[in-house]
Structure 1
Amino acid sequence: MSIKTNYARSIAAAFGAVALLGVVPAQAADVIDQTPVAPLPVEEVPVYTWSGGYVGAYGGYGFSSRTRAPGNSINTDGFQGGAFGGWNVQDGMFVYGAEADIGYNGNEGTNAGLTSQSGVDGTLRARLGVALSDRVLVYGTAGGAAGRLEVSDATTSDTNTMLGWTAGVGTDIRLTERIFARGEYRYVDYGDKDFSLSGGPTAVDASENKVLFGLGMKF
């Protein structure tokens, strides 16, 4: 009886050891599985900004333009082109800065024996805009304007540098990280000057409307 009892106890102890050996690895595996995994680093996507300098080229057309002399008004129009450059600072949605441009103005026209022909022109302007998104900037612009103007009659011609002002609105649209496209409308009042014509000093003033399209590059 004693031998059978000891034998039974030995078998029970063996089963208990096997069961324990099975439980311990399972618990160890649970501990390993519960070890927290370090999160992968999140790559920050850079936010586009309109801040910085830029240069570009433009082309466009002058329309509904006028050169006026006493008793005469000359309708002028023509193609235009040139280069521009400036600097922007962005603060939230607002973008402000300064821009200059220089180019050739092909506006010309003739009326009642008087001819008007524009030449090199340029502006220096302030800009204030709103970034509707990281791709679209709408802005207003205003500042000083200058341009060469030649006025001639049947026997005499004279050329002056006209000084005035300009104002307009436009849109810059980002195409790539550095390249943007532009569309702009501007009104320009070149003021007035006296021109020496065959009838003596003649007061002449000039103004124009223009639409401009361009491509620019940030740097």
Structure 2
Amino acid sequence: MQTKTRFALSAVAVLAMAAPAMAADVVYQEPPAPQPIIESAPVSSWAGPYAGLHLGYGFSGDVSDGTGGSIGTDGWLGGAFGGFQMQNGQFVYGIEGDVNYSGVDGTDGTFTARSRIDGSLRGRAGVAVTDDILLYGTAGIAAERLRITEDATGNRDTNTMIGYTVGGGADVKLTEQVFARGEYRYTDYGSQDFTLPGVGTADIDSSNHRVTMGIGIKF
């Protein structure tokens, strides 16, 4: 019995002495360091839908009065615009519409021409000269509601004029979503027949120039 006890104690002692050596032979593997998280910078683009507001001035308007004379018009205007663009490299293209309320009017002493509502639907094409600056041209159809009034009697006739508009401008990003705009357009609204007292049926044509400044948001 004592022999078995001594054998067991000897075995425990041997194991106790061997344990540190076995532990020293274990290779400690450090866990791999976490990979750094690299966030990609957002890609600047003009593509997508957008909308905004603008204010401007119409000038050098020309409305024939049906008697061989001409009515010069000018005045302030304001409205909203919206559209959708696509981008291929630096080339940006799309479609845009706008609607405006204006104070563009004028008189030749006999007749007064007054336009209050106008709008357009246009194509746009341009070049992103930098990530933040877009230069563009635009052209399309335009319409206005024109009223001609005889000053002496107050008799009037109103028609919807439909023609074309052409111009260009620049959009400049203030943030990735917000941009400022400056634009010039010339618009020829074509001609329509108006019934005027003392003149009868007269073929009236209308055109003007305008500059606008606006601010828009990309969605």
Query: Does the pair score TM above 0.5?
Result: yes
Q: Deviations over 1:46-73 (max 9, x none)?
A: 1110000001001000011111133211
Residue 58 of structure 2 corresponds to 62
Aligned to 2:105: 108
Preserved contact between residue 50 and residue 90 of structure 1 (Cα < 8 Å): yes
| Equivalent residue runs for 1:62-211 within 5 Å | 62-69=58-65, 70-153=67-150, 154-155=152-153, 156-198=155-197, 199-211=199-211
Task: Check conservation: 1:72, 1:112, Cα contact below 8 A.
Answer: no
The TM-score, its normalising length taken from structure 2, stands at 0.81
- Structure 1 counterpart of 2:50, which letter? Y
Give the % identical residues.
51
- Structure 1 position 134, deviation (Å): 1.0
Q: Distance in 1 between matches of 2:43 and 2:73?
A: 45
Give TM-score, length-normalised by structure 1. 0.81
Report the alpha carbon displacement of residue 105 of structure 1 after superposing the two structures with TM: 2.0
Aligned to 2:217: 217
Structure 2 segments unaligned to the other structure (5+ residues): 1-32
Aligned to 2:79, the other structure's residue is in SS state strand
- Unaligned 5+ segments in structure 1 are 1-36
How far off its partner does 1:103 sit?
1.1
Deviation at 1:40, TM superposition (A): 4.1
Number of equivalences: 185
Instruction: Give the secondary-structure state (helix, strand or coil) at the position aligned to 2:58.
Output: strand
Give secondary structure in 2 for the equivalent of 1:107. strand
* Cα distance in 2 for residues equivalent to 1:45 and 1:149: 50
Aligned-pair CA distance for 1:39: 7.3
CA drift at 1:164: 0.3
**By how many angstroms is 1:112 displaced?**
3.5
Coordinate RMSD, CA, aligned: 1.7
| Counterpart residue number, 2:17 | none
Paired letter, 1:143: G
Distance of 1:103 and 1:38 partners within structure 2: 57
